[in-house]
A and B are shown apart, each in its own frame.
Chain A
Amino acid sequence: MLKVDNLSCQKGYNLLFSNLSFKVNSGDILRITGTNGSGKTSLLKILAGLDAQEQGNVFLDNHEVKSEAYQQEIFYLGHLSALSEELSTLENLEFLTELNKPTKQIQLIKALSSIGLKGYENEYCDKLSAGQKRRVILAGLFISNAKIWLLDEPFTALDADGVTIIESRITKHCKQGGLCLFTTHQNSDLINQKVLAL
């Protein structure tokens, strides 16, 4: 269970949110909504251990955020592509997944195929469209065995087919006991999703 207790976040003089408390159980999907600048990305960054909170605590099964046990259970996808243009899709994905766990090349190829990038394994990332780049990093979802998925605008630049693939992957992950928190401005058809409005 992910427990967020009395969390506050301030950027400069701007208080984004304060005394924010919620719990996300295994199997839950939490959709975080809000206007631009409401603190959605900052909340995900705090949960990922990238940002420091003004006050409050974040725990996953009694492991505090930024502890090694907590960080091992995190898969974070930010706004940025996390891809180097000089590397192929396979080389990029290999490095990014190895940061979490050792992965065989066959799994990487399978993940790229699952996300609709079969035949693009050796394509340099500077030759890909924005949607294809997004798919490369999202292919990590098909390999990750992290419990918590923190996805910042995962559907940005994806076509309808891509959105369906990701939604079904999220559903499968949560049915297997994982939990997923994601931000979006789009409507999502994910079943059983809870909504947190900032």
Chain B
Amino acid sequence: MNIYLQALKRDLRIAIRNPSSILNPLLFFIISVSLFPLAISSEATILSPIGSGIIWVTSMLSMLLSLNALFHHDFENGVLEQMVISHHSLPLLILSKITAHWILTGIPIILLSPLFGLFLFLDNNGVYVLMITLLLSTPSLSLIGAIGASLIVGIKNSGMLLSLLILPLYIPILIFASSAVSQAQFGLGITGQLYFLATILIVSLMTAPFISGIALKISLE
């Protein structure tokens, strides 16, 4: 089997055998979204305009929560060393790991989002656009997050540092994604926002694995 597919399969297998790594960020997402109606109001008129923002912020935070472990275990046990000295492409091996991260954290959020969209009184069009923005942008969150995770891989207790490094880079995604959902609810055009999110995805897909590779090599030295 292709080594890159094997790396993907390996990460998925490890996560399935250690389900807390998948369930914890997902539970964080579910609980956080559920807290907003309790704290603010359960009125549709209040929740509907801010629903997309709530889902987007919590999605971002729950994906961030799981990023710390992206390279950490492989760094600790020496698998990362073996990946770096392998003659295979390190960026592609990293891309396999990022893909596994997205499958394990991004896809469950995308699948749950319609339910929570309805829970926060988004209309059908809003829910549909919310899913599209999540589908377009959660891979970008994993890709950009991988850069931060690779920079802090050798630093102990670095969870807060990762947030400080990565959250500012997530801001453009947050602005364009939540504005797309809000505008869709008012029946306005969202093409510009979707193009922008797609551009971020393409740019991060083309650069993040390479930057992560360089950062990991530096961390291992």
For B85, list chain A residues within 8 Å (CB): 48-50, 71, 74, 76
Within 8 A of B (CB), among A80-117: 80-84, 86-87, 91, 94-96, 98-100
Residue A159 at the chain B interface, CB threshold 8 Å: no
Q: How many A-B residue pairs have CB under 8 A?
A: 69
Say how far B113's CB is from chain A's closest CB, in angstroms: 29
For the complex, give the distance between the alpha carbons of A100 and B83 in Å: 9
Say how far A66's CB is from chain B's closest CB, in angstroms: 9
Cβ 8 A contact of B14, one of A50, A52, A84: A84
Say how far A136's CB is from chain B's closest CB, in angstroms: 12
Cβ 8 A contact of A81, one of B13, B17, B77, B220: B77
Contact A76 B81 (CB under 8 A): yes
Contact B13 A100 (CB under 8 A): no
Contact string against B for A residues 29-69, beta-carbon threshold 8 Å, 1 for contact and 0 otherwise: 00000000000000000001111100000000000000010
Contact B81 A52 (CB under 8 A): no
Q: Residue of B at shortest CB range from A48? A: B85
Cβ 8 A contact of A86, one of B3, B6, B13: B13
For B81, list chain A residues within 8 Å (CB): 50, 76, 78, 80, 82
Say how far B220's CB is from chain A's closest CB, in angstroms: 6
For A96, list chain B residues within 8 Å (CB): 79, 82
For the complex, give the distance between the alpha carbons of A48 and B82 in Å: 10
For the complex, give the distance between the alpha carbons of A151 and B207 in Å: 34
Residue A72 at the chain B interface, CB threshold 8 Å: yes
The size of the chain B interface, using a CB distance under 8 A, is 25
Residue B43 at the chain A interface, CB threshold 8 Å: no
For the complex, give the distance between the alpha carbons of A79 and B13 in Å: 25
- Please classify how large the interface on chain A is, using the bins under 10, 10 to 19, 20 to 34, 35 or more: 20 to 34
Cβ 8 A contact of A98, one of B6, B14, B84: B6
Contact B82 A84 (CB under 8 A): no
Q: Given A50-B84, A68-B87, A74-B85, are A86 and B79 also a contact pair (CB < 8 Å)?
A: no
Q: Residue of B at shortest CB range from A79? A: B78
Say how far A85's CB is from chain B's closest CB, in angstroms: 8
Contact A91 B10 (CB under 8 A): yes
Residue B41 at the chain A interface, CB threshold 8 Å: no
Contact A82 B78 (CB under 8 A): yes
Contact A50 B13 (CB under 8 A): no
For the complex, give the distance between the alpha carbons of A53 and B74 in Å: 24
For the complex, give the distance between the alpha carbons of A50 and B85 in Å: 7
For B220, list chain A residues within 8 Å (CB): 50-51
Residue B191 at the chain A interface, CB threshold 8 Å: no
For A51, list chain B residues within 8 Å (CB): 220-221
Say how far A194's CB is from chain B's closest CB, in angstroms: 24
For A68, list chain B residues within 8 Å (CB): 87
For the complex, give the distance between the alpha carbons of A68 and B86 in Å: 9
For the complex, give the distance between the alpha carbons of A76 and B18 in Å: 28
For the complex, give the distance between the alpha carbons of A51 and B221 in Å: 5
Within 8 A of A (CB), among B1-31: 1, 3, 6-7, 10, 13-14, 17-18
For the complex, give the distance between the alpha carbons of A83 and B10 in Å: 12
Within 8 A of A (CB), among B56-87: 73-74, 76-79, 81-87
For B76, list chain A residues within 8 Å (CB): 80
For B86, list chain A residues within 8 Å (CB): 71, 99-100
Sort A-B residue pairs by CB-CB distance and give the 7 closest, nearest first: A80-B78, A82-B78, A99-B86, A86-B17, A71-B87, A86-B14, A72-B87
9 extra interchain contacts, Cβ-Cβ under 8 A, other than A68-B87, A87-B10, A99-B3?
A50-B84, A50-B220, A80-B81, A81-B78, A84-B14, A84-B74, A84-B79, A91-B10, A98-B6
Q: List 13 A-B contacts (CB under 8 A).
A: A50-B81, A76-B85, A78-B78, A81-B78, A82-B78, A86-B14, A86-B18, A87-B10, A87-B17, A95-B7, A98-B3, A98-B6, A99-B83
> Which residues of A are interface residues toward B (Cβ below 8 A)?
48-52, 68, 71-72, 74, 76, 78-84, 86-87, 91, 94-96, 98-100
